[in-house]
Structure 1
Amino acid sequence: MPEDVPASTPRRTVRVGLLGCGSVGSQVVRLLTEQATDLEARVGAPVELVGVAVRRLDARREVDVPAHLLTTDAAGLVASGVDVVIEVIGGIEPARTLILSALEHGASVVTANKALLAEDGSTLFTAAEKHNRDLYYEAAVAGAIPILRPLRESLAGDRVRRVLGIVNGTTNFILDKMDTSGAGFSEALEEAQSLGYAEADPTADIEGFDAAAKAAILASLAFHTRVVAADVYREGITDVSAADVASAREMDAVVKLLAICELTDGPDGPAVSARVHPAMIPRSHPLASVREAFNAVFVESEAAGELMFYGPGAGGAPTASAVLGDFVTVARNRLVDVRGAGESAYAELAVRPMGETTTRYHVAVDVDDRAGVLAAVALAFAEHGVSIQTVRQEGRGDDAQLVVVSHRATDAALSATVAALHTMPEVRDVSSVMRVEGEGE
């Protein structure tokens, strides 16, 4: 070895700033500390946590954080020259401003912020490209399940046709309990809250806002088109009744809150659609076996075929696992001054409105129990161009219930059919309307 070359050269340290120290942030701190030696080997350099931005210094936390690391000056932390900023505070602001500042000051960013990415991801991606820095966000969808990286990288050479997923653990727990125990919605929600699966205010989960944000991210990646939360049709599970779940059971099906992203061909060329709503799926479908608070995403592509990704979709430790996976990649890139895969929005496909999306309906109609009623109901479907796949009638004294499952039709035609049923003198009530996905399409 030449005398003027040192035997070893000190490796630069990767300096990390963390925004937020709640359930996920606390676990990020724990993993950065406990796995420091392994992370150094995987990254290729020592990793130093230089600051943790919090709202309150005296708040109780799941892990002990050295006092000298805690700060309420989040803006100062992201502008301090750190190499990587990890954002797990959530929400739109101040997260957006802090991420943009981090990128402007030369830091790469790892975030778990699904709401921000679904609402204004384009601003973040544009800033990351401008400043030649990474923006990674595996933890934003489905917790520890590696689904975004496969869509962005592993399947980049394939054509994804459909992404169908259970991406909210709270709603899956509730619907699973309704199916397995016969509980009503309110009872199952109370159990979810008592076990910590649902927040005191569960609106974001049970009304589908959380799943819709994730659907926007999945559709954007799968179809190389910017899809925002406002493009996603959304229905929650608050109107799902024990009778709906029982009716699904009679069809050998289960009710799940599904995020459905599709690439479809139309008269004006290909377009994408994204929707979140409860639906009946046959028990033979892989997603039907996803129990309790677990998540799963089913991907259909032209070359690879059918793929399924399954695992814990939320929780501090599982989400932190996804955060650290992104961190290792981003840190490696910083050491060699390269940038990983960015936004892929070249296709710029139109987003198809829900009314033009094709689906199937399960409709329960309470009617007078007399001759000719079935024919009248069938005529209402036919007049709107909707074909009936199956119909079942149950007598109940002076009235009866017809349970109709349609073939695929546009959602607008199916909605118009239901509206027409409400006006018919033979119909006492349309007691249940639910979409059907899976087999028999």
Structure 2
Amino acid sequence: MSCKIGILGLGTVGTGVAKILLDPEGRHPVLREIEIKSVGVRSLSTKRDVDLPASYYTNNLESIVNDPDIEIIVELIGGLEPARSLILQAIANGKHVVTANKAVLARYGAEIFTAAKANGVYVMLEASVGGGIPIIQALKQALGANRIAAVTGIINGTTNYILSRMHQEGGAFEDILANAQALGYAEADPTADVDGYDAADKIAILASLAFGDRIKLDEIYREGIRNVTSIDIHWATELGFAIKLLGIARHAVVDGESGLDIRVHPTLIPITHPLASINGVTNAVTVAGDPIGEVVFSGPGAGSGATASAVVADIINVVAALKSGTGKINQLMGCSHQHYAKVHSVDSNKTQFYVRLIARDRPGVIGEIGMRFGKHLVNLESIIQKNSHGEFAEVVVVTKQVVERNFQTAIADIKNLDAIESIATVLRIL
């Protein structure tokens, strides 16, 4: 007896999912037992690149989540509403849900997973982070024996593409962004990507799975890549770093209190680090745990093939679980987090910094800057003056690991020095 599914949304990913399900030859045998019953679309008149009868389509998405014959709802419409309401209605009707919607999960995951547990259904989310990279199942199952210390990832392909080209070509952010938009790698409104919102959604999901607690999205520090310049790319290279937008979630103890340090920001990464060589639209995630050490997951982070692969894998897992006939939720597949994590404020965490200042080219400036940092308990690893332009010169400072609030206080103090024209860039170092 086949398992009937309903697909909400037939865009790039939805089309990819349908094509896989309609062509099971050579794939997992469970695919032969899955039947598409209905597909929810915005417009019935749009021509589709998939071989499905016209009778399968409907623009009444609620009819799909209320259909008693459908066991699994595949939500691929994106956005917050009506996606959230449709997911909750499907759960209330006792249907399992497979979704790629990181925005809904990051904001309403507590509500959704509480409802799923109460109704005894699965909510599967492999495609929500990292496209085709199997990072969700790895954190749920394969790495389950480990104490996770940190999850660090390049989890937004658009920003990685832009920063990679800035590194390779020395171009300006705005010019490369415009080109990325023309090529379809960046949206017309790139805010979610370049300002770090997309990566924050994803690191919230990964942190919840890695550390076993719910995460409040508004407690994640977020900073995008708009202020990264080709000059900083050059300096990073000269100092032995690459610059990437990272999502970082790690265990941290602050003033004796255990909690999490979770943030998204452009980061200088040592060129020897596995993430430093990840370029283009590729995504990669490193997981550090005990006893495994550090493992790296890398692959295409978006697109029809990669994301559809993850969606269909989730569908297969649900169908296989239903076939087992236990009648109980497998907690390795489901999400049962009940408590919220303690997330330390960014100003209390320890971080290493890169700073580029524009200063007057005169004797004593380096000493003045060093003294102000020292006054606020910021130890320096290096301080370099270079590239004089008339009466001004660039000064690049690399700190040691310091408490962020001490660093920010020092920067505010240095900004007021008569010798300082501007604080051009401040970036964190992994």
Q: What band does the TM-score fall into relative to the shorter chain?
A: over 0.9
Question: 1:52: which partner in 2?
Answer: 39
Deviations 1:301-324 (A, max 9, x none): 121100000000001111000000
Unpaired stretches in structure 1, ≥5 consecutive residues: 1-11
1:243-392 to 2 correspondence within 5 Å? 243-335=231-323, 336=325, 337-341=327-331, 342-345=334-337, 348-392=340-384
1:151-190 to 2 correspondence within 5 Å? 151-190=139-178
Aligned-residue offset at 1:37: 7.6
> Following the alignment from structure 2 to structure 1, what is the Cα–Cα distance between the partners of residues 27 and 359?
67
1:419-430 to 2 correspondence within 5 Å? 419-430=412-423
208-217 vs 388-397, which moves further: 388-397
Deviations 1:183-240 (A, max 9, x none): 1111211221222211122111111110010010011111111113212111111111
* 1:146 correspondence with 2:134: yes
Aligned-residue offset at 1:60: 3.7
> Following the alignment from structure 1 to structure 2, what is the Cα–Cα distance between the partners of residues 38 and 186?
43
Question: What is the letter of the counterpart of residue 329 of structure 2?
Answer: R
Aligned-residue offset at 1:334: 2.0
- Contact kept, 8 Å, 1:224 with 1:348, in 2: the verdict is no
State the TM-score, normalizing by the size of structure 2.
Answer: 0.95
Local SS of the residue matching 1:277: strand
> Following the alignment from structure 2 to structure 1, what is the Cα–Cα distance between the partners of residues 83 and 163?
32
Aligned-residue offset at 1:125: 0.4
> Following the alignment from structure 2 to structure 1, what is the Cα–Cα distance between the partners of residues 197 and 340?
24
| Partner of residue 63 from structure 1, selected from 44, 50, 67 | 50
Question: 2:392: which partner in 1?
Answer: 399
Question: 1:209: which partner in 2?
Answer: 197
* 1:27 correspondence with 2:27: no
* Number of equivalences: 424
> Following the alignment from structure 2 to structure 1, what is the Cα–Cα distance between the partners of residues 179 and 330?
43
Question: What is the letter of the counterpart of residue 421 of structure 1?
Answer: I
- Contact kept, 8 Å, 1:368 with 1:398, in 2: the verdict is yes
Deviations 1:152-199 (A, max 9, x none): 112222110111100000000000000001111112112212222111
Deviations 1:96-140 (A, max 9, x none): 111111111121110111000000101110111111111110000
Question: 2:67: which partner in 1?
Answer: 80
> Following the alignment from structure 2 to structure 1, what is the Cα–Cα distance between the partners of residues 18 and 211?
35
Deviations 1:39-98 (A, max 9, x none): 5x236x621100001111112434343211100111111111211111011111111111
Aligned-residue offset at 1:347: 6.3
Deviations 1:12-43 (A, max 9, x none): 2101010111110111111110126845x236
390-399 vs 327-336, which moves further: 390-399
> Following the alignment from structure 2 to structure 1, what is the Cα–Cα distance between the partners of residues 355 and 48?
49
Unpaired stretches in structure 2, ≥5 consecutive residues: none
Deviations 1:335-386 (A, max 9, x none): 3233222224366431111111211111111212222211110111111111
> Following the alignment from structure 1 to structure 2, what is the Cα–Cα distance between the partners of residues 384 and 314?
44
> Following the alignment from structure 1 to structure 2, what is the Cα–Cα distance between the partners of residues 206 and 63?
33
Question: What is the letter of the counterpart of residue 406 of structure 2?
Answer: A
Local SS of the residue matching 2:130: coil
> Following the alignment from structure 1 to structure 2, what is the Cα–Cα distance between the partners of residues 253 and 38?
42
- Contact kept, 8 Å, 2:254 with 2:348, in 1: the verdict is no
> Following the alignment from structure 1 to structure 2, what is the Cα–Cα distance between the partners of residues 20 and 98?
12
- Contact kept, 8 Å, 2:195 with 2:225, in 1: the verdict is yes
Aligned-residue offset at 1:290: 0.3
1:114-129 to 2 correspondence within 5 Å? 114-129=102-117
Question: What is the letter of the counterpart of residue 313 of structure 1?
Answer: G
320-329 vs 397-406, which moves further: 397-406
254-263 vs 415-424, which moves further: 415-424
Q: Percent identity?
A: 38
Local SS of the residue matching 2:180: helix
| Partner of residue 137 from structure 1, selected from 87, 111, 125 | 125
Local SS of the residue matching 2:423: strand
> Following the alignment from structure 1 to structure 2, what is the Cα–Cα distance between the partners of residues 158 and 395?
48
